[in-house]
Chains A and B, each alone.
Chain A
Amino acid sequence: MNAVAVEGVWKFYGDFPALRDVNLEAASGACLALIGRNGAGKTTLLRAIAGFSKTGKGVIKILGTSPREPATRRNIGFIGHGIAVYDELSARENLTLYARLYGLPDPRQTAIEWLERTGLERVRDGLVREFSRGMRQRLAVARAFLHKPSVLLLDEPFTALDDRAIAVLQSLLRDSLAEGRTIVLSTHQLREALELASDVALLVRGQVAFHGPCTPEMVADPGLVYRRHGEG
């Protein structure tokens, strides 16, 4: 059973097909890099996989069931364009909140742990609105990882991160893969993503133009996939 399975998925905005007959899968422990130009449908696809919107046609399964099942939701970690933490709450309050929502046994302790892991220990009681951008990004990462999800869905996670945040994220992702978790990430930052990726999928205007393993060739020359399979 694949960790993430997308079968024959179409997604419409009104009558406009943003996703057209998309078939993809990611096996357990794989890291799938989703690449494509702006407007190709990467965000739409990731959000559909995460269960934020229903598809017009087709089926999406995470760990064999619908992404909206509560048990499955417990196993999904999502980072979108927004950091999804509250400006008026402190870093610790934010993480404790999410730990509670995910039903973790010791929310306060989990929050502290993840503040340490992302280097936010010293500002734990600071309000998020006072944080720098890099700090906010690291908190977002903590939020997505703290319930130890088996499947991580990340929408352009490296965009606008500072060096420290990139390092934190890469290290967390490598650890996650080592622990057998599955990652699907969409990206413009080809280099960082392809270094981690085991598989690559290229989206062109809502369709999958290429889907295959990530080769050393691709890592050395990130534009290769676009040139070979994209519309140029």
Chain B
Amino acid sequence: MRDKILYVLGALAVLVLARNLYVIAGLPQEAAQGAIFKIIFFHVPAAWTAIVAAITALTMSVQFLRTKDFKYDAAAVAVTEVGLAFLAANLVTGSIWARVIWGIWWTWDVRLTSALVCWLLYAGYLMLRHAIEEPTQRATFAAVFSILAFLDVPIVYFSIRWFRTQHPAPVFLSSNGSFPADWTRVLLSNWLGLLLLAIVMTAIRLRQEESQREIDSLRRAAHAM
């Protein structure tokens, strides 16, 4: 039953994204930046998806600490990994965009910098998990880390933004002019596609995590014999 739902969602995601690609190709080019501007349809929703993943990870972590039920821990790690993947997509699309527009591979623009720092933050979550062997301790410590990381995210963004108001640098990864309404619709629709994709990826990762846990406990049981 679960599998069927996943297939449907996956198919839906592919359909939505494919349709959007067609629509995006048909849209007129943006005045200042040309064709590359259309990368915004992936660059921005990828970040939004990562934010949704972070909020979900926080919820799962809090729930784990309250109930000690490992399904929340599995959900937390699955959703964090998927969030990291989407955040990486945001960073890569941002880099490509910068390269095409400015000829440089990176710029310390507010949003890119914040995304990079948050990526490092949540990558730390995965590194911490890998370093702790015992499952209960791993889940508990990871949950605490996840909560602290989430609290930090808005402060990181605000501090970098304040830094940039004090030391201005060119901001080009935003749409300075008006964003036409029908473009907004495409943007949101693409976000929907990415969210569906994220859900499918999370579900797959979740299943893998649960299998891994079962294997670990069987291994422990075998050692105990």
- Chain A interface (Cβ < 8 Å from any Cβ of B): 12-16, 39, 53-54, 56, 205
12 extra A-B contacts, CB within 8 A, seeds A13-B220, A14-B134, A14-B220: A13-B217, A14-B217, A15-B70, A15-B217, A16-B216, A16-B217, A16-B220, A16-B224, A39-B224, A54-B68, A56-B68, A205-B224
- Is the C-beta of B135 less than 8 angstroms from some C-beta in chain A? yes
A15 to B210, CA, bound (A): 10
- Chain B interface (Cβ < 8 Å from any Cβ of A): 68, 70, 134-136, 213-214, 216-217, 220-221, 223-224
B223 / chain A contacts, CB cutoff of 8 Å? 39
A16 to B222, CA, bound (A): 10
What is the interface of chain A mostly: helix, strand, loop, or mixed? Answer: loop
Does A14 contact B224, Cβ atoms closer than 8 Å?
no
A205 to B134, CA, bound (A): 19
What is the interface of chain B mostly: helix, strand, loop, or mixed? Answer: helix
Does B221 contact A14, Cβ atoms closer than 8 Å?
no
Q: How many CB-defined contacts (below 8 Å) exist between A and B? A: 31
**Shortest CB–CB separation between residue B148 and chain A, in angstroms?**
21
A16 to B223, CA, bound (A): 11
Q: Which of A13, A14, A15 has the most CB atoms of chain B within a 10 A radius of its CB?
A: A14
B221 / chain A contacts, CB cutoff of 8 Å? 16
**Shortest CB–CB separation between residue A203 and chain B, in angstroms?**
12
Residue of A nearest to B212 (CB): A14
Does A12 contact B136, Cβ atoms closer than 8 Å?
yes
A13 to B220, CA, bound (A): 9
Does A13 contact B224, Cβ atoms closer than 8 Å?
no
B213 / chain A contacts, CB cutoff of 8 Å? 14-15
Does B70 contact A13, Cβ atoms closer than 8 Å?
no
A12 / chain B contacts, CB cutoff of 8 Å? 136
A15 / chain B contacts, CB cutoff of 8 Å? 70, 135, 213-214, 216-217
Residue of A nearest to B210 (CB): A15
Does B68 contact A14, Cβ atoms closer than 8 Å?
no
Residue of B nearest to A11 (CB): B136
